[in-house]
């Protein structure tokens, strides 16, 4: 019975093209405003996730370095890591160098890695003797292809020739993408044993990359675990070594993105409020255009409370329809961000050329709930004002 009343109520007030067009405009406007907020949150979340994922691909969960510089990965250090539950770790050499190709040079960061490093960072690194893997942006900017030979310039360690670089030629075996411009434009991987031999380091390293002993491997879920484990290792190893989570160098940027996400989301609520005022205008429009039918409902015994409930149900149905359409808009925005050239970002500024939307179910619930709250508040205020008009006054206005 209640459903029939709502259906009759809707059909009666939407019996002409003007009312239907007005309702469609209100529906699309409300859906678009919700989609704008969801897409903004999704872009911020997507940027943070992509940045974290790219950074993790370059170092694992944590890195350990010595205050003294290079050090031996001794049995004592290995035992201490094992006692703390660290199962995956890899000693690496990270050193600045220059890459020379076709008479052009570029400042890079060379990482000397072993066979364990690939499983820690989830990169398909398979290096042969006298080969390197270079970042995607290095290859793109210098037009380097697989099989080409590049020259790496290293500083000498001897006192006699310490101001002269030593040059070594390598074959490009792989081109690696981290998804972060700063990494893809600087990172070069080589065999650790070869770098140790070139620099005369014997078996010493200057960094250890490791993963936290946790079954949680999603980027979003293990941040707190990593921070707590970082503090635990610093306490265990004392002042000789220091540890860094993989996002430490970009922590200020990530904090800024989070703050901006909250601020922008609050500001964009104004768009929803404006769309809700369109709903208010629609109710006023129907109230004026269909005043005879409204008062006829009352004359036939429909109470004010029942009438208001029908309005609330109609507005709620509009909100549900707008929520589904907003999800469709969000998917359309996602496709544009992925494939449209217009939305390709300059990597040098935004760290990555493409950003995918990431919207959690809590984001959906929050945005939808706030939109519903605004709609109900403004509708309630409007209906209270409409109550003030009596049946006799309405009929007099209609027929006098």
Band of pLDDT at residue 9, cut at 50, 70 and 90: low
pLDDT in tens, 360-380: 888 899 999 988 998 888 888
Band of pLDDT at residue 155, cut at 50, 70 and 90: confident
Q: Indicate if the pLDDT at residue 387 is higher than 60.
A: no
By the 10 Å C-beta count (0-12 exposed, 13-18 middle, 19+ buried), 181 is classed as buried
Q: Indicate if the pLDDT at residue 191 is higher than 90.
A: yes
Q: Are residues 211 and 103 in the same domain?
A: yes
Band of pLDDT at residue 315, cut at 50, 70 and 90: confident
Q: Are residues 204 and 94 in the same domain?
A: yes
Q: Are residues 36 and 84 in the same domain?
A: no
pLDDT score for 311? 76
Q: Are residues 233 and 295 in the same domain?
A: no
Domain boundary among 215, 248, 281: 248
Q: Which residue has the tokens 């007030």?
A: 13
Q: Are residues 373 and 288 in the same domain?
A: yes
Domain boundary among 205, 225, 248: 248
Percent of the residues in the chain that have a pLDDT greater than 90, as a whole number: 30
pLDDT score for 224? 82
SS (H, E, C) the chain: CHHHHHHHHHHHHCCCHHHHHHHHHHHHHHHHHHHHHHHHHHHHHHHHHHHHHHHHHHHCCEEEEECCECEECCHHHHHHHHHCCCCCEEEEEEEEEEEEECCEEEEEEEEEECCCHHHHHCCCCCCCCCEEEEEHHHHHHHCCCCCCEEEEEEECCCCCCCCCEEEEEEEEEEEECCCCHHHHCCEEEEEHHHHHHHHCCCCEECEEEECCCCCCCCCCCCHHHHHHHHHHHHHHHHHHEEEEECCHHHHHHHHHHHHHHHHHHHHHHHHHHHHHHHHHHHHHHHHHHCHHHHHHHHHCCCCHHHHHHHHHHHHHHHHHHHHHHHHHHHHHHHHHHHHCHHHCCCHHHHCCCCCCCCCCHHHHHHHHHHHHHHHHHHHHHHHHHHHCCCHHHHHHHHHC
Phi-psi region of 174 (alpha: psi -120 to 50; beta: other; left: phi over 0): beta
* Nearest residue to 154 (alpha-carbon basis) of 134, 168, 139, 169: 168
Range of the domain at 374: 2-53+253-399
The Cα 297–Cα 303 span in angstroms is: 8
pLDDT in tens, 198-214: 988 888 999 999 988 87
Q: Are residues 85 and 203 in the same domain?
A: yes
Band of pLDDT at residue 325, cut at 50, 70 and 90: very high
pLDDT score for 20? 76
Q: Indicate if the pLDDT at residue 192 is higher than 80.
A: yes
Domain boundary among 233, 248, 263: 248
Number of domains in the chain: 2
Q: Which residues touch 116 (CB under 8 Å, ≥6 apart)? A: 88, 89, 90
Q: Indicate if the pLDDT at residue 219 is higher than 60.
A: no
Q: Are residues 262 and 230 in the same domain?
A: no
pLDDT in tens, 69-78: 899 998 999 9
pLDDT score for 147? 92
The Cα 149–Cα 170 span in angstroms is: 6
pLDDT score for 343? 67
As a whole number, mean pLDDT of residues 268-288 equals 79
The Cα 275–Cα 270 span in angstroms is: 9
Q: Which residue has the tokens 């449209």?
A: 340
Q: Name beta bridge partners: 97.
A: 108
Q: Are residues 62 and 49 in the same domain?
A: no
Q: Which residues touch 184 (CB under 8 Å, ≥6 apart)? A: 135, 136, 137, 138, 176, 177, 178
pLDDT score for 347? 57
The Cα 400–Cα 292 span in angstroms is: 12
By the 10 Å C-beta count (0-12 exposed, 13-18 middle, 19+ buried), 178 is classed as buried
Q: Are residues 351 and 369 in the same domain?
A: yes
Q: Are residues 131 and 194 in the same domain?
A: yes
Give me the chain's average pLDDT, please: 82
Q: Are residues 30 and 132 in the same domain?
A: no
pLDDT in tens, 19-31: 778 888 888 999 9
* Nearest residue to 333 (alpha-carbon basis) of 308, 358, 365, 301: 358
pLDDT score for 336? 86
Q: 71-72 and 204-205 as β-strands: parallel, antiparallel, unpaired?
A: antiparallel
Token couple for 319: 């909100």
Token couple for 107: 């400042």
Q: Are residues 380 and 264 in the same domain?
A: yes
């Amino acid at each position: 019975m209640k459903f029939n009343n709502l259906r009759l109520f809707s059909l009666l007030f939407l019996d002409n093209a003007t009312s239907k067009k007005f309702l469609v405009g209100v529906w699309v406007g409300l859906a678009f405003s919700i989609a704008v907020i969801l897409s903004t949150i999704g872009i911020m979340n997507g940027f943070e996730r992509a940045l974290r994922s790219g950074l993790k691909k370059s170092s694992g969960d944590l890195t350990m370095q010595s205050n003294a510089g290079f050090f031996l990965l001794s049995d004592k250090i290995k035992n201490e890591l094992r006692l703390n539950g660290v199962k995956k770790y890899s000693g690496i050499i990270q050193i600045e160098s220059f890459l020379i190709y076709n008479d052009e040079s570029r400042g890079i960061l060379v990482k000397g890695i072993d066979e364990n490093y690939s499983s820690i960072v989830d990169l398909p690194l398979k290096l042969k003797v006298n080969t390197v893997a270079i970042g995607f942006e290095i290859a793109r900017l210098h037009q380097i292809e697989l099989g080409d030979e590049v020259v790496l310039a290293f500083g000498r360690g001897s006192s006699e020739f310490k101001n002269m670089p030593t040059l070594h030629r390598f074959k490009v075996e792989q081109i690696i993408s981290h998804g972060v411009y700063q990494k893809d434009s600087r990172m070069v991987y080589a065999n650790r044993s070869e770098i140790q031999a070139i620099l005369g380091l014997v078996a010493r390293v200057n960094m250890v990359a490791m993963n936290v002993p946790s079954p949680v491997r999603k980027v979003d879920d293990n941040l707190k675990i990593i921070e707590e484990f970082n503090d635990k290792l610093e306490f265990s190893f004392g002042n000789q070594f220091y540890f860094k989570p993989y996002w430490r160098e970009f922590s200020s940027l990530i904090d800024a993105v989070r703050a901006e996400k909250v601020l922008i989301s609050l500001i964009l609520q104004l768009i929803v409020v404006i769309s809700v005022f369109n709903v208010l205008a629609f109710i006023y429009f129907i109230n004026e255009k269909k005043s005879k039918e409204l008062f006829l409902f009352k004359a036939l015994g429909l109470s004010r409370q029942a009438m208001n409930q029908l309005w609330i149900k109609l507005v709620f149905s509009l909100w549900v329809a707008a929520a589904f359409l907003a999800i469709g808009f969000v998917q359309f925005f996602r496709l544009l961000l992925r494939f449209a050239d217009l939305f390709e970002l300059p990597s040098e500024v935004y760290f990555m050329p493409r950003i995918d939307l990431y919207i959690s179910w809590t984001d959906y619930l929050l945005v939808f709930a706030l939109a519903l709250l605004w709609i109900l508040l403004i509708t309630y205020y409007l209906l209270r004002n409409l109550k003030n008009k009596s049946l006799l006054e309405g009929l007099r206005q209609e027929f006098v």
